[in-house]
């Protein structure tokens, strides 16, 4: 992927990995548009990064996604990259029987959201001479965290969807790239995660991702070193061992 000279839309760009990637691409010489539900956060990011733009989006709302896509294309006709970063991660107490609402919301945000937005933007992206769809999965796509079963499942689905999308679009102008983060210092699971020494510092993660994107791996997957034990657990015959270690650490 050419990491400069693009017009890039990043969902969930108000905080965490989304904001970090938005700022990195902004510094690299791209027109960046961030989106999210919390307008105040979006304004904070654009104020800190003059030239960056923002559009409010409720990724769970089917009609809002369609209207948002039309607005994005109209406002930024050179849009050629979308990064599906918006996501939620919540623990689910399955035995307690109160997890279904969380599961449905997680699927709506993490899986249906990217699929719906891609469907709305794809005709425009296919018409561009050079474009890309970037998905954000997780190391948990390959080895699940027991306390967040639906989150892990949605990320497994995003991985499979990205592979299939890449194959279908391989003869078009649209490149499909999957970024699989490890446990990173963000507030995805709450403020304590942002300072957890077991998590990868966000600046280190962002820097490694940008370097990998520039090197354009043939697999279409961006896997930082810290994520490789999870990503390649199956290939290495280590799923059971990695699953046990992961869930002992985060159980």
- Assigned token pair, 169: 């679009």
- CA–CA separation, 26 and 81 (whole Å): 13
Asked whether 242 and 249 are in contact (CB, 8 A), the reply is no
Residue 132 binned pLDDT confidence (cut-offs 50, 70, 90): very high
Looking up tokens 């919390």 gives 38
Per-residue pLDDT of 182-205, as tens digits, reads 999 999 999 999 999 999 999 999
Average pLDDT estimate for 137-142: 98
pTM for the structure as a whole: 0.96
- CA–CA separation, 218 and 81 (whole Å): 18
- Assigned token pair, 208: 């490694």
Per-residue pLDDT of 9-39, as tens digits, reads 999 999 999 999 999 999 999 999 999 999 9
Instruction: Indicate the domain borders of the chain.
Output: 7-250
Indicate if 151 belongs to the active site: yes
Per-residue pLDDT of 95-114, as tens digits, reads 998 899 999 999 999 999 99
Does the pLDDT at position 251 exceed 80? no
pLDDT of residue 1: 83
Cα end-to-end span (Å), the chain: 37
pLDDT of residue 216: 79
Helices (H), 79-231: 100-107, 113-126, 149-168, 202-215, 228-231
Per-residue pLDDT of 147-184, as tens digits, reads 999 999 999 999 999 999 999 999 999 999 999 999 99
- CA–CA separation, 216 and 212 (whole Å): 6
Topology (CATH level 3) of domain 7-250: Rossmann fold (3.40.50)
Asked whether 125 and 171 are in contact (CB, 8 A), the reply is no
Asked whether 8 and 33 are in contact (CB, 8 A), the reply is yes
pLDDT of residue 250: 85
Asked whether 210 and 28 are in contact (CB, 8 A), the reply is yes
Q: Which one is catalytic: 151, 161, 183, 205? A: 151
């Amino acid at each position: 992927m050419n990491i400069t000279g693009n017009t890039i839309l990043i969902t969930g760009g108000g905080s965490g990995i989304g904001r970090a990637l938005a700022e990195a691409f902004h510094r690299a010489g791209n027109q960046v548009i961030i989106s999210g539900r919390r307008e105040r956060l979006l304004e904070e990011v654009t104020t800190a990064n003059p030239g960056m733009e923002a559009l409010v989006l409720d990724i769970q709302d089917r009609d809002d996604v369609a209207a948002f896509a039309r607005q994005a294309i109209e406002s930024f006709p050179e849009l050629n990259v979308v990064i599906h970063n918006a996501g939620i991660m919540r623990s689910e107490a399955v035995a307690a029987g109160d997890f279904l609402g969380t599961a449905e919301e997680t699927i709506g945000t993490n899986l249906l959201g990217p699929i719906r937005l891609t469907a709305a933007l794809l005709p425009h992206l296919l018409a561009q001479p050079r474009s890309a769809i970037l998905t954000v999965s997780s190391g948990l796509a390959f080895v699940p965290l027991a306390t967040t079963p639906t989150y892990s499942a949605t990320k497994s689905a995003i991985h499979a969807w990205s592979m299939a999308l890449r194959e279908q679009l391989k003869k078009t102008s649209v490149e499909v790239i999957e970024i699989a983060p490890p446990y990173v210092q963000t507030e995805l699971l709450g403020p304590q995660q942002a300072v957890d020494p077991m998590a990868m510092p966000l600046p280190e993660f962002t820097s490694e991702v940008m370097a990998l994107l520039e090197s354009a791996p043939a697999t279409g997957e961006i896997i930082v070193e810290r994520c490789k034990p999870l990503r390649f657990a199956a290939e290495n015959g280590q799923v059971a061992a990695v699953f046990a270690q992961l869930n002992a650490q985060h159980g």
